[in-house]
Structure 1
């Protein structure tokens, strides 16, 4: 059934929301010594079980 589209705030990298598969895909193009971490902030309606599994 899905929980709707996410509202994305600050992020490092890129994201794609596939509404047909109910997937929010986030990627960091470079992970190296200078770029060791990243973050994605988003909000969306739903229950905790709607967000699992995380892959």
Structure 2
């Protein structure tokens, strides 16, 4: 699963996580998706504004 990092337009970056299917439960999938989304928003918030570099 992956989450786009939306600090550029068009989107050019993403973060992802892979897990062996044997260990994936619906609960674990929800936990990982939530963690990825939270991490993506934190990265977006800390990214420099496009065009300021």
TM-score normalised according to structure 2 size: 0.29
Structure with greater proportional strand content: 1
Query: What TM-score does the superposition give when structure 1 sets the normalisation length?
Result: 0.29
Higher helix share: 2
